[in-house]
Structures are given as C-alpha cells and as structure tokens.
C-alpha cells in the first residue's frame, strides 16, 4: 500500500542513526553504490537522481523489465504512491488562497453526510493526518484483491472507500494525535470535487502539472495501465502490469518520473506554488510518535546527520520511492526501486534510506 506511518518513522529513525559521510566521495557515486547494493540484495532494478542547484545526475542498476532484461532507465515513468498527497495538499492550499475554502472548515460544510460522525474534523486535519479517520486500505476487501491482481479495474468510488474505512476503529478523536491513513486524502479529494465541481486529477493537472511542464506526470482516474517508457513494477519478481488507480485515488494514484518529481519538489519547497501564507501552512508540522519526525501537509520534516530536511516515502504495489530535499528545495535526492509487496522490511528500508541519506549529506 502507499506510505504508512510505520515506514515513515522507520525512515526517520534511519536518518537519525546514520553516521556522517566522508566528504571525498561524490554524491552521485554514493547513490550509485547504494543502487548497486540494492540490486545485489535482489531488487530487480533501481533508478535515482541527485539534483544540486542547476546540476542533475542520475544512477541506475538492474532491470526495468526482467523478462526482456531491459536496463532500468532513469527517464522511465513509475507509480509514485503517496507522493501524490503533496499534489493534493497544494490544490487545497491554492483553493484557500483564492478564498474558496478555509483549511479550518469542517468537512461537513463541503461533503455533508459523507463521513459518519465527522463533527470536529477539519480539512487541515485531513491533510496532517490528525482527523482520527481509520484506514480503508488495510481492509481485506481492498488489500487482498489489489495484491492478487484480481479484476484490475473494479468500481471503487471515493465514497465506497470511505464507507469501508468507517467500518473500522477510529485512530482517535479529531485533533487528538497524528495517525497516518490514506482515508484522509481520499476525503480530501472529495472536498476538492465539492468545492470545484471537478475531479482532483483535473485540478492537479491544470494547477501543477501544466504550469510546471511536467510532461511525464499524470493522475490516472480509470486507466490501469502505464504507457510509453515505464518501469515495470514487481512483487517477489511477479510483474504487476496493471493497477487500479481508484484503489488509492487522491491518496496515491499518480505516475511521474524522477525529473518531473524533482521539479515539483523544488517548486514546492521553494515557495513557487503557493503564496507565503499558504506556504507557511504547508510547512507547519505536527509531531509524530517519534521526536525529529514531524508531518506537515502531505510532506514530512526530519533530521539528518547534516541538518533538517524534507523527506518522504511513496509506496504502491510494485514500487518503493523516497525523497530527501533541503528545506529550500535546492538539493534533492530521489531513489526508486521497482519492487514492493505491501509488507514492511526494516533491512531493505535501512539499505534504501541509508543510501539516500548518505548521498544527501555528501557535499
């Protein structure tokens, strides 16, 4: 499934625990060594990017498609999972800057009755995961068919996902504590539709993808296929050729490339996408259960051996990606592997996060 708080916290703990990196090594060489090690440990393929100012360098190892032994291509598209959440947060923040909503609006103002007993839940609490809404993606009715690849294009409306979630125990009262659930961003997408009359994908395209000229970034709504040059995703080396985008929707359906996502991240953290007031809201964090790992609106702030940074993990069936960016977005490290099977693996997490952090801190 897409990023869980367990994965985020694990990554943060790895960041905090990593030793300093020798300054003699070039960052791209460190990332390449990490990619090689990941393939040697049985990942099918790895692609990565190091962007520092105007310079961008790439790494790759292994295969983008096992059956044809095609080399992993740093220009290939892949499913970005929970990286989608930052795009959705930007749309809502832009709508607020246009005075079309407030992040402090109760969600019942916009989607009355969609979430049972939703009194006290605000749009902001959806975006920073303090709403208390339970996770729909852990329900076997969603997770088992999704993992097995049965009927890859079933009907999963946002409301149906919320209905499944609300049959599970809540994580707390509104505003009580941070608890990461994909349900929050499914509901956030419903708010976007209620405010604009349009699908979140349309708003993301016109507000972010087109202005930033992200030519290889899409927000699929019903099409389960990837197109053109794409990185094949695997679970235990089983190719996952199609994935129903409705399963994760506004929580994790988007497709992008290393270059496009790095361009978005730089625009996001540099303040290009939002007015100052909304930029401040984006980067205002709430604590998670581990010190040094705080969550903003679709982004996470963490500590590295070389100082504070923004970091995130985007996971979806077949893909595991992570980003570390300087607070102003001038330095970015991205790493993507084309295997993920929905289960946490601390050893693999340490390997990938460790390579990203060592690269980020080598300057």
Instruction: List helix spans (H) across 108-179.
Output: 123-127, 140-148, 158-165
| 187 in Cβ contact with 133 (< 8 Å) | yes
Spell out a b/e string for 43-82, using b for 16 or more CB atoms within 10 Å of the CB, else e: bbbbbbbbbbeeebbbbbbbbbbbeeeeebbbebbbbbbb
Q: Which of 332, 278, 357, 303 is nearest to 30 (CA)?
A: 357
Which of 4, 82, 131, 353 does the annotation list as catalytic? 82
- Rg of the chain over Cα atoms, rounded to whole angstroms, equals 19
Token pair, residue 257, equals: 């490339």
d(CA 295, CA 178) in angstroms, rounded, equals: 8
Which backbone phi and psi does 56 adopt, to 5 degrees?
A: -130, 130
Tokens encoding 236? 């235990």
Contact 8, 300 (CB under 8 A): yes
Tokens of 321: 């990606």
- Told to judge if 82 belongs to the known catalytic residues of this protein, a careful annotator would answer yes
Task: Compute the Cα dihedral for 187, 188, 189, 195 and give only its sign.
Answer: positive
φ and ψ of 213, to 5 deg: 55, 50
Within its chain, how far is the Cα of 85 from the centroid?
6
Per the DSSP assignment, residues forming a β-bridge with 302 are 293, 309
Residues marked as catalytic = 82
């Amino acid at each position: 499934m897409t990023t869980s708080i367990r994965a985020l916290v694990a990554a943060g703990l790895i960041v905090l625990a990593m030793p300093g990196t020798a300054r003699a090594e070039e960052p791209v060489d460190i990332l390449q060594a990490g990619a090689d090690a990941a393939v040697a440990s049985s990942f099918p393929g790895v692609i990565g990017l190091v962007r520092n100012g105007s310079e961008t360098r790439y790494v790759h190892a292994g295969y983008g498609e096992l059956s044809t032994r095609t080399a992993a291509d740093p220009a290939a598209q892949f499913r970005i999972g929970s990286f989608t959440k930052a795009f959705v947060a930007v749309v809502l923040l832009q709508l607020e800057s246009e005075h079309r909503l407030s992040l402090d609006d109760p969600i019942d103002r916009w989607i009355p009755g969609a979430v049972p007993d939703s009194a006290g839940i605000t749009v902001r609490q959806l975006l920073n995961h303090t709403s208390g809404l339970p996770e729909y993606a852990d329900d076997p009715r969603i997770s088992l068919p999704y993992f097995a690849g049965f009927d890859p294009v079933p009907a999963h409306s946002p409301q149906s996902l919320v209905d499944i979630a609300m049959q599970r125990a809540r994580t707390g009262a509104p505003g009580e504590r941070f608890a990461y659930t994909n349900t929050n961003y499914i509901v956030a997408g419903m708010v976007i539709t209620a405010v604009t009359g349009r699908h979140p994908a349309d708003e993301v395209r016109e507000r972010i993808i087109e202005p930033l000229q992200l030519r290889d970034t899409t927000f699929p709504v019903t099409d389960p296929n990837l197109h053109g040059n794409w990185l094949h995703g695997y679970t235990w080396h089983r190719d996952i050729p199609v994935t129903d985008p409705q399963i994760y929707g506004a929580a994790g359906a988007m497709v992008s490339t290393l270059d496009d996502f790095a361009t978005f991240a730089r625009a996001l953290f540099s303040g290009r996408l939002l007015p100052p007031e909304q930029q401040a809201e984006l980067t205002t964090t709430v604590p998670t259960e581990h010190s040094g790992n705080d969550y903003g609106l679709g982004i996470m702030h963490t500590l590295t051996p070389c100082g504070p940074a923004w970091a995130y993990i985007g996971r979806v069936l077949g893909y595991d990606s992570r980003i570390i960016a300087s607070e102003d977005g001038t330095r970015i490290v991205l790493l993507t592997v084309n295997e993920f099977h929905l289960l946490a693996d601390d050893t693999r997490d340490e390997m990938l996060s460790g390579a990203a952090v060592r690269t980020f801190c080598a300057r």
